[in-house]
Amino acid sequence: MNSIFRGELASSAGRRLAWLDSLFVDHGVFRLAWSNFAPVVPGRLYRSNHPTPGRLARQARRYGLRTVINLRGEAGNGSDALSREAAARLGLAFVDLALESRGVPQAARVLRLMEVYRTMAEPALIHCKSGADRTGLAAGIFLLAEGRSADEALAQLSLRFGHVRQARAGVLDAFFLRYREAGAKPFAAWLRDEYDEEALRRDFQAGRLASFITDRVLARE
* 166 touches 206 (CB < 8 A): yes
DSSP H helical ranges for 75-133: 78-90, 107-119
pLDDT at 56: 98
- Is residue 92 helix, strand or coil? coil
Q: What confidence category does residue 208 fall into, taking pLDDT thresholds of 50, 70 and 90?
A: confident
Q: What is the pTM of this model?
A: 0.94
Class of domain 12-217: alpha beta
The 10s digit of each residue's pLDDT in 72-108 is: 999 999 999 999 999 999 999 999 999 999 899 999 9
Containing H/E element for 95? strand 93-96
Q: Which of 66-70, 164-168, 183-187, 217-221 has the highest mean pLDDT?
A: 66-70
- CA–CA separation, 49 and 65 (whole Å): 16
pLDDT at 217: 58
pLDDT at 1: 56
Per residue in 30-60, is it b (16+ CB within 10 Å) or e — as a string?
ebeeebbbeebeeeebbbbbbbbbebbbebb
pLDDT at 85: 98
Residues 6 or more apart whose Cβ sits within 8 Å of residue 189: none
Percent share of the chain, pLDDT over 70: 95
What is the chain's mean pLDDT, rounded? 94
Mean pLDDT of 196-214: 84
Q: What confidence category does residue 199 fall into, taking pLDDT thresholds of 50, 70 and 90?
A: very high
The 10s digit of each residue's pLDDT in 114-172 is: 999 999 999 999 999 999 999 999 999 999 999 999 999 999 999 999 999 989 999 99
- CA–CA separation, 185 and 215 (whole Å): 35
- CA–CA separation, 104 and 168 (whole Å): 10
φ, ψ of residue 10 in degrees (nearest 5):
-70, -35
Q: What confidence category does residue 216 fall into, taking pLDDT thresholds of 50, 70 and 90?
A: low
**Is a pLDDT exceeding 70 seen at residue 211?**
no
Q: What confidence category does residue 207 fall into, taking pLDDT thresholds of 50, 70 and 90?
A: confident
